[in-house]
Structure 1
Amino acid sequence: MTEGPWHSFAEAQNAFDCISPGETRVEELPALGLSLTANPNVILLNYSDVLRRFVPVSLNGSLDIAPGVLECIAAKAACQGYEIEQRVVERKRYGNFWVDFLNFERKVDIAGWRFQGILLVKDNRVIYKLSGGQPVIREREENRNPLGPLQGIGESHLLSAW
């Protein structure tokens, strides 16, 4: 789980939906729960990071890139990119306590969500936004060790002999 201002994927997406490229100023973002300098898990993207993320490696003549991205690329160092990632994932063990405790079998349910967003900012104004992620995460892990607590002993003795 990563810290962040939102408690659900929908809340994060709603905050991003309130951002209007070309109109929203950086000073307005904290009201949406998004402070680019105080929020955890905000990655600063420099000019080359923006190029790597938005410009394809093999240019086959034509470029079909969003106008906000082109404006940022043209501005070079005058444009700053921000990548925001928040994920909330809970792991809950289930099954027989003793079988799990003695390391014979471990069953885990994994549930949560993951949100990713990118903002490009020039002259203290958002000029481009992009969001995505995984609204619902549902996974199940099962690990079986037929020898239980003795499962790794042979490996550790072999490695310590070297």
Structure 2
Amino acid sequence: MHRITYLRKVPFTKYLISFLLFVSGLYFLIYQNIFFGLLFAVIGFGLMKTEGSQIDFQTQKYRNIQSIFAIHVGKWKPLPVFDYVSVFKTTEGKRISVATASTVMREEIYEVNLFYENSKRITFYKTTNKEDAFKMAMNFHRSLNLKVLDATNAQNVWVTT
């Protein structure tokens, strides 16, 4: 395994809406109004974008990425020497606004964090599935020979040593 790539999943409805906006924008751009065409196309294109991370073990570098249509963009940084990997349980809020009303939807997520220099960390992976988070942590355990810390409960427990 030379490179690990994580991309945050885009909900199907968001992807569908962004695709429809993009295609509508192209239609307006060609047949109707250039301004509305560009506006719809840019909004649709922007909604298709997703975020993530990559680690390249061959070059010993990592980067946070923006991705669209499997094209990843981000600045490579030197990979630090990691001390351990942690699976951490937290909640993440997403603000949803419609006209004059807005609300925050909270979701329980699991983060896979790589720690280095005692307390610095890189959050590499986020998921709503605990088993999925531990599978990713075990990949880092095997690839980088790191200890795995279970920080999903009040009492932290070392899963591997």
Shorter-normalised TM range: under 0.3
- The higher relative CO (CA closer than 8 Å, separation ≥ 6) is in 1
Greater Rg, structure 1 or structure 2? 1
Task: Select the structure that is richer in strand.
Answer: 2
Q: TM-score, normalised by structure 2?
A: 0.24
